Structures are given as structure tokens and as C-alpha cells.
Amino acid sequence: MARNEHFDKKDKVLGNKQKKKSFIVPVVVVAGIALMAFAFLSNTKGGGSDAPNKGSFQVEAQNYDGQVVKMTDIKPEIKNGQVLVDLNTVKQNKIVRFELPNQQVTLPNGSTFDFMPVTAYVSDKGRVVGAISFCEPCSGTRFRIEGQDLVCESCGTRWTLEDLKGISGGCPTYPPAEVNYQVDGNKLVFDEQELRSWQPRP
């Protein structure tokens, strides 16, 4: 009788362990699937409205209500593989534009350019944004600030200034494509190779 009780207890202990194992395995599998789904969604965010912000430098917030601010053309300093833009110039003019010469660009619609247009602007919340100044479907290279929106001068498409999410118009998924930059003293520093290697979105 004692022997049978011993085996009963052993079976219960082993049974409990097996139940715990069978419970743990599905939890691990579900957690793994959830992590993979999160990684997939993070990596497939598009080059338009959901693209992550690449510039996080903050200056004073801006009140653009009732204002229309046109681009100011500037000439950056290009040396040693870097493109340098005066930060005060960006802050004073709110939105600037420059061109990298000797760069062949062909858009999907067939339009060709012999330069790479780049913009830098201050959002309404004070974030300094650097981006390739193209709206590919309409071949636009110039934009304006209008209230809290960035507006394509060619087609009138609108995006939010802060994160370039599409609002209206024909090209909401083609905002200026953000690029990386660093701030060194009073200079915005862009990597020349990164700017020149940008490719139009399909």
C-alpha cells in the first residue's frame, strides 16, 4: 500500500511538472511571435507618413498661425565629405533650400535633375528637420510653411510640419524624405555621401 502511495505521489509530481512545461511552451511561443510581429511592423514603416524622425535637435517653438513662409535659397559649405549649414540661417528664415551640384537624379515619372535638392526647416514645435527636397510624383522641389503644414509648391499636397504625416493632396506618401544630421556648434552637419546616395521612392 505504501508502495502504491509512493508511486501515486511521484505521478502527481511528474504530472504537475509536465503541466507546467506544457503551459510554459505556448507562452514562450506567443511571446516570440509577438516580438517578431513588432520587429516586422517597425521595419516596414514606409518612407512617408510613418517614417521615423531622423533629426531631433530642438530650438524655440514657432507660431506659424496665419503665416506663409517661402523657402530661402542658401549655399552651404561643402568640405571633407560634409555639408555644413549655418543653424542661425535656418532659425532666422524658418525654411531653407540648397542644391548639391553634379548629382544626376531620375524620378520614376521620368523627370531628370542634375542636382540634389535639400531642405532644412524648423517645425512649429521647434524640431529642426533636414530632408531631401523632392515630392517625386509631381517633380516638386520647393515647399512652403503654411500654418502648421508643409505644402508642396507644385501640387499643393500638405503634410504636418512636425512629423511629415500626409494631410491632403495627391502625394501624401511622398513628403521630403528625412535625412540624418549632426549639430556641431552653430552648424548643421550633413553627410555628403548620404545625401548623394538617396534614391527616389517608387
d(CA 73, CA 71) in angstroms, rounded, equals: 6
Is the same domain home to 83 and 167? Answer: yes
Is the same domain home to 116 and 167? Answer: yes
**Domain of residue 109, residue span:** 68-196
DSSP lists the bridge partners of residue 187 as 86, 184
Is the same domain home to 178 and 105? Answer: yes
The SS3 assignment for 164 reads coil
Is the same domain home to 88 and 125? Answer: yes
Q: Is residue 17 part of a domain?
A: yes
Q: Is residue 56 part of a domain?
A: no
Is the same domain home to 86 and 185? Answer: yes
Q: Furthest-apart CA pair in the chain: how many Å?
A: 96
Q: For the stretch 52-89, what's the b/e string if a residue is b when 16 or more beta carbons lie within 10 angstroms of its beta carbon?
A: eeebeeebeebebeeeebebeebebeeeeebbbbebee
Is the same domain home to 75 and 26? Answer: no
Is the same domain home to 94 and 183? Answer: yes
pLDDT by residue, tens only, the chain of 202 residues: 444 554 454 455 445 545 444 444 444 444 444 444 433 333 323 334 444 557 789 999 999 999 999 999 999 999 999 999 999 999 999 999 999 999 999 999 999 999 999 999 999 999 999 999 999 999 999 999 999 999 999 999 999 999 999 999 999 999 999 999 999 999 999 999 999 999 999 9
Question: Which residue from 121, 105, 112 is spatially nearest to 160, judged by alpha carbons?
Answer: 121
Is the same domain home to 29 and 117? Answer: no
Q: What is the pLDDT of residue 131?
A: 98
Q: Is residue 173 part of a domain?
A: yes
Is the same domain home to 132 and 85? Answer: yes
User: What is the Cα gyration radius of the chain?
Assistant: 27
Is the same domain home to 156 and 88? Answer: yes
Q: What is the pLDDT of residue 34?
A: 46
As given in the structure block, the three cell numbers for residue 57 are 535637435
We report the CATH number of the domain holding residue 143 as: 2.102.10.10
Q: Is residue 79 part of a domain?
A: yes
Is the same domain home to 80 and 143? Answer: yes
Q: What is the pLDDT of residue 53?
A: 59
User: Is 27 exposed, middle or buried, given 0-12, 13-18 or 19+ CB atoms closer than 10 A?
Assistant: exposed
d(CA 185, CA 136) in angstroms, rounded, equals: 33
CA torsion through residues 2, 4, 5, 7, sign: positive
d(CA 170, CA 158) in angstroms, rounded, equals: 9
Q: Could you give the number of structural domains in the chain?
A: 2
